[in-house]
């Protein structure tokens, strides 16, 4: 399939630092960028085709993203290491601090993706996966596959099928593919949906999301999400989220010298007493006692 991607793209304050490397394959285009953004730099991207963006360093403290045209600051969220953007979904980005970054863009023809996924998961599940956005911070093996693909894009040395198979593995590992064509088997969230929630929570410095934001992350209505989440975890979304925030508090207590009051403020608790009450409820100890115990281990 002869394929040339088409994307509307506007950037401001972003400078390309090296020649762009690209390679056209059957139904897809691979493009590698090395660039730098200044504080306040921004970008707008809209493609009629699905695409994948994989960053080779952590950009979440420096780049924020939104799919809402208004650009209200509350609508922005940290940019994750790997992002799947469905066809026709607009993306706005802004830099909060200067940052050099490199990333691989994969522009994919919808028919190519359907032909790849449908024999294994069925056409219905494949179409569902193509409509679901994905944002993950823990890229794991996907980064390794992307690095191999960048090497082949930069210095082609193998048949095209090698690069195409790398893309196929990236797609399989990243897209949120329903199990057996069922979006909510047994009224529960899929593991892929839970992974998306965990990645989104981990991308927030305070570990906080509203129930509406959590529901939107996995593509469900707020009321349905609350129901299936309780079926999946045995906890309400906010109870589960509080546990994750206490996990963050424990990490800060061990790895930093922040005071308990500072940790409370960073994680969005109203004050030290609020954190202490929640911490004791979940961990069985006060933060101070828990920190002392860990330092004795």
- The mean pLDDT value of the chain amounts to 87
**% of residues, the chain, pLDDT over 90:** 51
Query: CA-to-CA distance for 96 and 61, rounded, in angstroms?
Result: 8
The per-residue pLDDT for 128 is: 83
The Cα 229–Cα 120 span in angstroms is: 28
The answer to whether residues 64 and 99 touch, using CB atoms and an 8 Å cutoff, is no
User: CB-based contacts of 69: which residues, under 8 Å, 6+ apart?
Assistant: 90, 92
Residue 96 — pLDDT band, cuts 50, 70, 90?
Answer: very high
Q: Which residues are CB-neighbours of 169 under 8 A, at least 6 positions away?
A: 145
Query: Among 87-101, 142-156, 181-195, 198-212, whose mean pLDDT is lowest?
Result: 181-195
Q: Where are the domains of the chain?
A: 8-183, 202-296
pLDDT, tens digit (0-9, with 9 covering 90-100), for 223-244: 778 878 888 888 899 999 999 8
What band does 73 get if pLDDT is binned at 50, 70 and 90? low
Q: Which CATH number fits domain 8-183: 1.10.10.2840, 2.60.120.430, 3.40.1550.10, 2.60.120.10?
A: 2.60.120.10
Token pair 């330092």 in the structure block, residue? 295
According to the model, what pLDDT value does residue 16 have? 95
| Helix ranges restricted to H, 71-209 | 110-121, 123-131, 141-154, 160-174, 191-202
For residues 265-276, give the mean pLDDT: 91
Does position 80 have pLDDT exceeding 80, yes or no?
yes
Given a cut of 80, whether residue 109 has pLDDT beyond it is: yes
* 199-203, 253-257, 262-266, 279-283: range with lowest mean pLDDT: 199-203
Mean pLDDT of 109-115: 90
The pLDDT of residue 179? 57
pLDDT tens column, 123-170: 878 888 898 888 888 888 999 999 999 999 999 999 999 999 999 999
pLDDT, tens only, 12-22? 999 999 999 99
Confidence tier at 182 by pLDDT (50, 70, 90): very low
pLDDT band at 180, cuts 50/70/90?
very low
Written as six digits, the tokens of 276 are 């202490």
Q: What is 202-296's CATH topology? A: Arc Repressor Mutant, subunit A (1.10.10)
With CA atoms as reference, report the closest residue to 117 among 108, 127, 107.
127
What proportion of the chain, given as a percentage, has pLDDT over 70? 93
Position 250 scores a pLDDT of 92
Torsion of CA 38, 170, 147, 164, to 10 degrees: -120
pLDDT of residue 185: 47
Residue 75 pLDDT > 80: no
Cβ atoms within 10 Å, residue 87 = 16
pLDDT at 131: 86
Res. 70 pLDDT band, cuts 50 70 90: low
Angle of helix 141-154 relative to helix 160-174, nearest 10 degrees, comes to: 150
């Amino acid at each position: 399939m002869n394929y040339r991607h088409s994307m509307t793209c506007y950037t401001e304050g972003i400078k390309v630092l090296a020649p762009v490397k690209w390679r056209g394959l059957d139904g897809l285009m691979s493009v590698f960028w090395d660039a730098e953004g200044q504080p306040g730099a921004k970008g707008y991207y809209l493609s009629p085709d699905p695409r994948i963006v994989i960053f080779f360093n952590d950009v979440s403290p420096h780049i924020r993203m939104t799919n809402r045209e208004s650009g209200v600051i509350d609508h922005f969220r940290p940019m994750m290491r790997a992002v799947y953007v469905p066809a026709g979904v607009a993306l706005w980005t802004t830099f909060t601090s200067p940052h050099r970054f490199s990333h691989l863009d994969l522009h994919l023809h919808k028919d190519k993706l359907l032909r790849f996924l449908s024999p294994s998961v069925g056409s219905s599940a494949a179409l569902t996966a193509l409509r679901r956005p994905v944002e993950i911070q823990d890229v794991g093996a996907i980064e390794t596959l992307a690095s191999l693909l960048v090497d082949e894009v930069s210095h082609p040395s193998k048949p095209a099928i090698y690069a195409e198979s790398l893309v196929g593995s990236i797609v399989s590992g990243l897209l949120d593919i329903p199990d057996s064509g069922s979006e909510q088997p047994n009224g529960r969230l899929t593991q892929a949906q839970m992974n998306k929630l965990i990645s989104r929570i981990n991308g927030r410095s305070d570990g906080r999301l509203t129930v509406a934001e959590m529901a939107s992350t996995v593509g469900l209505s707020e009321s349905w999400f609350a129901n299936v989440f309780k079926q999946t975890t045995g906890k309400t979304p906010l109870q589960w989220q509080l546990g994750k925030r206490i996990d963050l508090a424990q990490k800060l207590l061990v790895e930093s010298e922040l005071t308990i009051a500072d940790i409370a403020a960073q994680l969005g608790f109203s004050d030290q007493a609020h954190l202490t009450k929640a911490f004791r409820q979940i961990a069985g100890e006060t933060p101070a006692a828990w920190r002392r115990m860990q330092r004795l281990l």
